Amino acid sequence: MVAQSATLRSKEELMERMSKPDVITGSEMLLRSLVLEGVDCVFGYPGGAVLFIYDAMHGFSDFHHLLTRHEQGAIHAADGYARASGKVGVCIATSGPGATNLVTGIATAYMDSVPLVVITGNVATNFIGTDAFQEADITGITMPITKHSYLVRDVDDLPRIIHEAFHIANTGRKGPVLIDIPKDVSSHKALFKPVNEVSIRGYNPTVSAKKPQIDKMIKAIEEAERPVILAGGGVVYSGGHEELFEFATKAGIPITTTLLGLGAFPSGNDLWMGMPGMHGTYTANKAIQSADLLINIGARFDDRVTMKLNGFAPKAKIVHIDIDPAEIGKNVPTDIPIVGDIKTVLQQANKDVKYAAKADAWRAHILQSKQDYPLSYVDSDVELKPQWVIEMIHETTKGEAIVTTDVGQHQMWAAQYYRFNQPRSWITSGGLGTMGFGFPSSIGAQMAHPDRLVVSINGDGGMQMCAQELAVCSINNIPVKVAIINNQVLGMVRQWQELIYENRTSHIDLAGSPDFVKLSEAYGVKAFRATNKEEARDAWIAAMDHPGPAVVEFVVRKGENVYPMVTQGSTIDDMLMGDSQ
């Protein structure tokens, strides 16, 4: 208790010191404002236009700055930090190429509704528009992929802008906000006065839903014989997982969670059917197609979930709960629209929701379907199967790790075979499908949770897009455990070429990739290689026992496919099941 009181006191003293009115530079205002917003870690890469900011950081110890080896690594790490912690992720880059190197990461966060404040430098205000050295119109470039952006022209505006940026990023439908600071603005001095109020004309996200709409949903549940809940990332981002559990179990409604919704509902519960869509489970996809009531909670009816829209959930009355009214009815016609924050809406609904008494036969059918059609694959004692590797990782981590992935087959196998029971334990690029995301995002997740086990599952393709960040783990002793599922090929592209393009494989061979063990060791990171089950288990346990970062390269079967699979142009109940099914 004494230590806790001392910590609280030191935090209060810090906030008092940061809030003190002073005549300081724009750079010092930025650093103070970040501390006042609760920022404890910033990811960045310096350059000419942000040198005043980095000069102000000299000797500054009130938050941690992590120097990545590429700006894209910085923004993906900030993204992973935000997804794992629920706080706003922050990254800094210089003007021109530094700023444009952030674009993919900004788009990744925008598609997945991740709260980021992205700070870029720019040339001095008198040079803007002259094609000055390292000038780029980053606010214009990123306009379609930011929730909002600022070009700061007056140092007096900086405290207000920073406070507004954090508010916008982390309220309503969350997303990235960009603050572009010209070099002269970062050096000008003015009186710093902290801003605590936010008043933005036209920005007032709906939090509580209209009761008549909730009443309509509750009545629909009472009348439904085959109800299904489709839960998405909005549940996780709102912190509404406990309310979702209460809602689903009170009503007794089978539930499927999207790729970004994994962990929003415990996978061990009888009501959980797995993931829907292109690589969804047989039970989840068939249930959606047979449902007479589909309640979408915080998902955006992405095309990888719905597949062929004309034929998706053809028998169902559609309820859609979302913080963003623009998503409701955008892709799938909605019968009962409910606009509001997921956590708040479910709290409202849980007061009145009752058990779906007419759905007893449906629940029994779902349980039987899960038993009859589990996820499965043809195992081997000769070749190392990637599905087995994921199952082994789940078993040895007891399902308690924070798992990040890159994009491709390994991502789908991880989503299928690693079972999540807690929110914010699954971090992956959903909407944009960004290769190179997996490993840097794990660095951010580990910085957010230094005492938790963080596992980064990557393909041999995506790992090479961000391998330089191994230096960050090595130098800072960030104990991420990296699993490389190495099938020597662009696996998901190969699978599509095999199944859809009549096996005409084209430019997918990753032969000539580096020896990942030697590459890791060159960065000072402990590394192992495994080619069979015994080696795989021993290497993985050794990696987990190692106190610092560690890499395990799992050399797996080259031609393995992800099943089930729904091809584009098909409805989600038209599944290719694979040899095992």
Distance, in Å, from the CA atom of 435 to the CA atom of 225, rounded to the nearest integer, reads 42
CA 437 to chain centre: 10
Q: Are 277 and 258 in contact (CB under 8 A)?
A: yes
3-state SS, residue 91: strand
Q: What does the longest C-alpha to C-alpha distance in the chain come to? A: 72
- DSSP letters, 131-182, are T-TT---HHHHTGGG-SEEEE---GGGHHHHHHHHHHHHTSSS--EEEEEEE
pLDDT of residue 7: 58
SS3 for 309-368 is CCCCCCCCEEEEEECCHHHCCCCCCCCEEEECCHHHHHHHHHCCCCCCHHHHHHHHHHHH
The H or E element that residue 43 is part of is strand 41-45
Active centre residues (catalytic): 71, 133-134, 183, 492
Q: Are 466 and 72 in contact (CB under 8 A)?
A: yes
pLDDT of residue 500: 94
**Closest CA relative to residue 342, chosen from 300, 299, 298, 294:** 298
CB atoms within 10 A of CB 249: 15
The H or E element that residue 216 is part of is helix 211-223
Q: Are 404 and 77 in contact (CB under 8 A)?
A: no
Distance, in Å, from the CA atom of 16 to the CA atom of 79, rounded to the nearest integer, reads 29
CB atoms within 10 A of CB 507: 7
Q: 3-state DSSP helix/strand/coil percent for the chain, to nearest 5?
A: 40, 15, 40
pLDDT of residue 580: 60
For the chain, 581 residues long, the average pLDDT of each consecutive 10-residue run is: 54 81 95 96 98 96 96 98 98 98 98 98 97 97 98 97 98 98 97 92 93 98 98 98 98 98 97 98 98 98 97 98 97 98 98 97 98 96 96 98 98 98 97 98 98 98 97 98 97 96 95 96 98 97 98 96 96 89 58
pLDDT of residue 581: 58
Pair of tokens at residue 109: 């966060």
Distance, in Å, from the CA atom of 460 to the CA atom of 488, rounded to the nearest integer, reads 7
Pair of tokens at residue 142: 């990123």
**Closest CA relative to residue 240, chosen from 110, 341, 349:** 341
Kindly report the pTM of this predicted structure. 0.96
Distance, in Å, from the CA atom of 521 to the CA atom of 550, rounded to the nearest integer, reads 10
pLDDT of residue 20: 84
List residues bridging with 22 in a β-sheet: 192
Q: Are 41 and 63 in contact (CB under 8 A)?
A: yes
Pair of tokens at residue 571: 């409805």
pLDDT of residue 15: 81
Give the torsion through C-alpha atoms of 345, 346, 352, 354, to 10 deg: 140
Pair of tokens at residue 341: 């924050």
pLDDT of residue 11: 76
Distance, in Å, from the CA atom of 71 to the CA atom of 73, rounded to the nearest integer, reads 5
Distance, in Å, from the CA atom of 435 to the CA atom of 492, rounded to the nearest integer, reads 12
Q: Are 505 and 559 in contact (CB under 8 A)?
A: no
pLDDT of residue 3: 52
Q: Are 171 and 323 in contact (CB under 8 A)?
A: no
| Phi then psi dihedrals of residue 550, to 5 deg | -150, 150
**Closest CA relative to residue 104, chosen from 464, 445, 437:** 437
Distance, in Å, from the CA atom of 145 to the CA atom of 104, rounded to the nearest integer, reads 9
